[in-house]
Structure 1
């Protein structure tokens, strides 16, 4: 072979080796990219709420923008409803701003589940349990307004007549306090045709009841010594059987509390029966009614669970118990989230037992709330 041919052959051989090595490198890079992509997909896999608490077939979800998300299997909304985790596992987050589009005629936003079946107290055998922690309540609000800095985390609601609420479970914490209060309300099922005179009676579980407010707009009452801190777990159990509502509240390091309320026979059929707490809190704003003798007998009721923010931007001059005058940034949700003007509740466990007597509650979702 002459010198020229030998040189050409050497160049061809070198080029071939280069192509082979480059091909291997490309294949390896493609393989690494594929592996990296699979790994990223696995890491970023969404955990939906029904994987944490598998009971969503029994509920429809209302979001903090007033929309109805329906049955929330395989669903999340990063502004209102999603999952997160900490060193104790996965949680379902319910988040609602102080101001925005609300559901029905309510002044308050909510990210909340509503049971799709209703049951009747007289024939009920129904149960709701939950383990949760409240992570935030509104940073602003008039301290003289009882609903300021509060969120409702569980309810029994009527689907009939006036659609009143025989049970609301509250958490409330004033700014600057470490501990907040847990209390529950019974709302009367007003006698007669005028429901504007309805009122609530509040019972303390840990800390204070609803009636403990600040002396001025920006000053607060004494912090409760036996209260619950933000981020501190507590549990509730609601059982309604044969017309009797039984409540149980528990939290590590706190006394377990139980309560019983008859939903078929009223305690408040005359003005003399009305508690002094109610006279002090509700009579000044014209809510001074009495209750029908059979209370919630004959009314279809259903459970609710989530974050029903009780703090809103409406002027306290409208209603000194329920209108907080809090910051809403004109309904801008992200601005409210940035400066703490929202309610956020995390649920770790929950369960529902629906009695055989329960019937469809679909009609409720077209009504006001």
Structure 2
């Protein structure tokens, strides 16, 4: 073959090989980049440090959730604007501690004492799903707790639970918060909650029949609507702040070291109608939660379960659980799902290890 043809052909082959290799290299880099973008851990979205232990919806204690995900319970999602941490939990399954309810929830690794506390928790979230089944007469049906203060000592009661609740046929749901009394004496069976509405209704608004729902709240929060809460406990006083665009900002204050429920006459009307008829009619210690170590929790603590309402008409929902089959529950909406975009914690210098609580409850 003539040399004048060989040289251009060699150059052509070389150029072709170069282009192919370069194209493969770009594809490889793109694929790797896409894989990195998809593999975003929850701890990449919100820094958990070593402030939290993670409990999953199957009852297991993960420990520190740094660089961890679980596709059934705890992972990330992007709504087109931002990355969020997803907490998901079914109506029925293995639970943690003595609870009747499943949870995918962070629990603070340290505890603090209300009287000397200067501790804070802030979070921005949206609830994406609550159970589609349950008994409408049961106050806890169709609800999820998205933030808590929990006692690690004594009866291990809860001076704060922040709820979201939405009935199946409604567009708007309610946000409300609970104070649970720290029951006087050794018998904690008489404990009860007092519920305060933030937006929409409080816990006590229920259906008259199993499948009959009350009137929809006009100032409520819909699924997928963003809202924030701030919790501060300082010198024995709990201050709460709730914010959401298009809704009035709400502020509340509660004394955690001096009770207002020390006698039967102090039991509020809401409690007399909701809890007293089922035997939950206790009174509180005079110093409430003083002297007990408390800690923050946040996530998706599903309040809807499959237990019969005959057991407890406030807390046992009679919802569908498919015998504890998690994937079946997820398929037909029998779960709670909460997305958090932001969360931050301030831990006081007087706080101490909370390991004892996890040891007792795991």
Question: TM-score, normalised to structure 1's length?
Answer: 0.93
Structure 1 unmatched runs, 5+:
1-9
How far residue 170 of structure 1 moved from its aligned partner, in angstroms, is: 0.2
Q: 1:130 aligns with which of 123, 126, 131?
A: 123
CA gap of 1:18–1:65, structure 2 versus 1, over 3 A, is: farther
Aligned mate of 2:34, from 34, 39, 43:
43
Aligned position for 1:34 = 25
| Residues 202 and 210, structure 1, Cα contact 8 Å, conserved in 2 | yes
Q: Secondary structure at the match of 1:61?
A: strand
Aligned residues: 360
The structure 2 residue matched to 1:217, chosen from 204, 210, 214, is: 210
C-alpha displacement at 1:186, in angstroms?
0.4
Between structure 1 and structure 2, the one with the greater Rg is: 1
Q: 1:214 aligns to what SS in structure 2?
A: coil
Give per-residue Cα distances to partners, 1:290-327, cap 9 Å, x unaligned.
00111000000000000000001111111111111111
Matches within 5 A, 1:146-225: 146-225=139-218
Deviations 1:263-293 (A, max 9, x none): 0011111100001111111112111110011
Shift of 1:16: 11
| Aligned-partner Cα distance in 1 for 2:10–2:99 | 71
CA contact (8 A) 2:56 2:103 kept: yes
After alignment, is 29-38 or 229-238 more displaced? 29-38
Residues of 2 paired with 1:138 and 1:320: CA distance? 17
Indicate yes or no: 2:69 matched with 1:76: yes
CA contact (8 A) 2:48 2:65 kept: no
The offset of 1:35, in angstroms, is 2.5
Bigger mean CA offset, 80-89 vs 259-268:
80-89
Aligned-partner SS, 1:280: helix
CA contact (8 A) 1:55 1:352 kept: no
**C-alpha separation in 2, matches of 1:299 and 1:134:** 31
Q: CA deviation at 1:29?
A: 3.7
TM value normalised by structure 2: 0.95
| Cα separation, partners in 2 of 1:123 and 1:66, compared to 1, 3 Å | same
Residue in 2 that maps onto 1:275: 268
Which 5+ residue runs of structure 2 have no aligned equivalent? none
| Alpha-carbon distance, 1:37 to partner | 2.4
Q: Could you say if the C-alpha distance between residues 38 and 160 of structure 1 is closer, same or farther in structure 2, counting changes exceeding 3 Å?
A: same
